[in-house]
Amino acid sequence: MPDNIVVGGVSVDTRHWIGGRRVASSETFTDVSPIDGGTIGEISRGTALEAAAAVAAAKAAFPAWAATSRAERARILHAIADGVEKRIEELSIVETTDNGALLRSHRRGVIPRVAHNFRFFADWLLKLEHEDFETRGHTNHVSWDPAGPSVLITPWNAPLMLATWKVAPALAAGNTVVLKPAEWSPLTASLLADIAAEAGLPAGVLNVVQGYGSEIGDALTSHPDVRRISFTGSVPTAKRIAESAAGHLTPLSLELGGKSPLLVFADADLDLAVDLAVEQYDNAGQVCLAATRFLVEESVAEEFTRRFVEKAATLTQGDPRDETTDIGPNIHPRQLEKIDAFVQRALAAGARAVIGGHRKDTQYYAPTLLTDVAQDSEIVQEEVFGPVLTLQTFSTEEEAVRLANDTRFGLAATLATGDAERAERVTEQLVAGTVWVNCFFVRDLQAPFGGSRHSGVGREGGTWSFDFYCDVKNTVTAPNGWKNHG
């Protein structure tokens, strides 16, 4: 097996990155492009041996990295950001080839956000503090101590951006990292290892192990030397990770699935509401935060649906490398089969496809809107993770809130209304980690991010990230307790 493959003119090493050097496995797995189903290359397939070696490298590198000054850690993170910015075009091409998301989105927003992730947490680290406070004359001082080696398991829908959303704060906190990228989109994690090494990140501080979660996941998450685990993905996988981590009480941060609502009230700007609704097809519906359940007030439901259908008809689906494309392929034939199975079961149960409801070919699923769906139906209750939306109606504000909260998830919610008082009332009642009012997907890294119920455990972002990746310590000092050695 060659150590490197060329993707869109970009050379990518197919081996793991462990302890500051490339490590090959005896077996490989095939990386396939969702654009055309063609083989990109053979990737080193990690085993428990590589997982253990990566954790050992992270453990060995931890004391020195933890002792590195905040200023020096921040400098290196900024250097990594510089490296990302120099390679935006290369990273964009590789990412689009590997996961099928729009090339224009990678160039203009997603990959620049990768650099921002490093810069933000580097800067936040330098101002991270808590004011000292007094207790009966004693001084309390809060500090954030690096926790140790951290295992970060990341998804395939925004591979590099979501990986660095975890890697950047973990490194800033003084932890060392073992990154396990999704097997359907592993390539940019390998490029990140190169960029980090070029930026001067010491050997062993960042390690990348590729492979199947079913084969190496437990070796990483059950390891006694791992002190933090952060995972983004499905609820069933999260449960297995939690069971694995329980043996050593390893703290977890879990960002899981969603079945988020878009509530449209009759007093909303309908053009805005429709724009927000059509935006849910972004990344072929493969967005955990997507508002896939439309809840529309009865009096405007017909007009909303008409405008939505007109707007959706203007979307172009096709090759994500084309600047005119709005919706690209789904990540993998297995995911496409899963999406279609959801839709066909819903149709068989009485749902009606206003648009879509079928595959376009082996890589693409037609943007779909289903109506006549029951609240307790699978299509309303379970995450599809594809370009499939449902529409239900409500007659009162109370009914809207009840329907919005009536799933096991609680990741996000979007609200369209022209009434500020209603917005305040409704948002207070919605079960969600993030609520957007008359907007969608506005994200600031200093804000808390996470889900409620089965959508996750914990919050990350800003100081919340350091609270997770560190051992937060309070030191209490008595007054007048010092001996005079003068």
Quote the CA–CA distance of 207 and 22 in Å, as a whole number.
10
Calpha distance 191→429 (Å, rounded): 43
pLDDT at 9 (0 to 100): 95
Specify the pLDDT at position 362. 81
User: In terms of domains, do 56 and 138 share one?
Assistant: yes
Position 486 pLDDT exceeds 60? no
- Listed residue (330, 414, 410) closest to 367, CA to CA: 330
> Does residue 481 fall inside a structural domain?
no
pLDDT at 483 (0 to 100): 78
**How far is 466 from 462, CA to CA, in rounded Å?**
7
d(CA 291, CA 400): 14
Same domain, 122 and 143: yes
Q: Is the pLDDT of residue 267 over 60?
A: yes
Residues 77 and 56 in one domain: yes
Average pLDDT over residues 178-204: 98
CA–CA dist 133, 87 (Å, integer): 46
Asked whether residue 192 carries a pLDDT value surpassing 60, the answer given is yes
Domain of 69 in residue numbering reads as 4-256+462-474
Alpha carbon distance 346, 419 (integer Å)? 34
Catalytic residue among 50, 288, 460, 470: 288
Q: Are residues 177 and 216 in the same domain?
A: yes
CATH number assigned to the domain comprising residue 120: 3.40.605.10
Whether 357 and 386 map to the same domain: the answer is: yes
**CATH code where residue 390 lies:** 3.40.309.10
Say yes or no: 414 and 350 in one domain: yes
Over residues 85-144, the pLDDT tens digits come to 999 999 999 999 999 999 999 999 999 999 999 999 999 999 999 999 999 999 999 999
Residue 378 pLDDT > 90 = yes
User: Is residue 455 included in any domain, yes or no?
Assistant: no
In a domain, 400, yes or no: yes
The closest alpha carbon to 375, from 348, 398, 351, 341, belongs to: 351
Q: Report residue 480's pLDDT band, with 50, 70 and 90 as the boundaries.
A: confident
Residues 291 and 236 in one domain: no
What is the residue whose two structure tokens read 């073992």? 178
Element (H, E) at 85: helix 70-86
Task: State pLDDT tens for residues 217-259.
Answer: 999 999 999 999 999 999 999 999 999 999 999 999 999 999 9
pLDDT at 484: 66
Alpha helices in 329-440 (DSSP H): 333-348, 378-381, 397-405, 420-429
The sheet with strand 133-135 has its strands ordered as: 133-135, 138-146, 470-477
* 126 lies in some domain: yes
Asked, for residue 448, whether it belongs to a domain, the answer is: no
Please report which residue ranges of 288-419 form alpha helices under DSSP H: 298-312, 333-348, 378-381, 397-405
The answer on 294 and 161 residing in a single domain is no
Please count the structural domains in the chain: 2
Active site residue 424: no
Residues 361 and 466 in one domain: no
**Is 31 part of any domain?**
yes
User: Pick the catalytic residue: 90, 95, 183, 255?
Assistant: 255
Concerning whether 470 is annotated as a catalytic residue, the answer is: no
138 and 192 housed in the same domain: yes
Report yes or no on 480 lying in a domain. no
What pLDDT is stored for residue 485 in this prediction? 54
Verify that 209 and 303 share a domain, yes or no. no
pLDDT at 466 over 60: yes
Report yes or no: 452 and 431 within 8 Å, Cβ to Cβ. yes
Q: In the numeric block, which tokens belong to residue 464?
A: 């919340």
In angstroms, what is the C-alpha Rg of the chain?
24
* Mean pLDDT score of the chain: 96
List beta partners, residue 6: 11
Please state, in angstroms and rounded to a whole number, the distance separating the CA atoms of residues 81 and 199: 9
User: Are 108 and 37 within one domain?
Assistant: yes
Q: How far is CA 413 from the centre of its chain?
A: 17
49-82 residue pLDDT tens = 999 999 999 999 999 999 999 999 999 999 999 9
Residue at 341 is within a domain: yes
- Of the pLDDT bands very low, low, confident and very high (cuts 50, 70, 90), residue 210 is very high
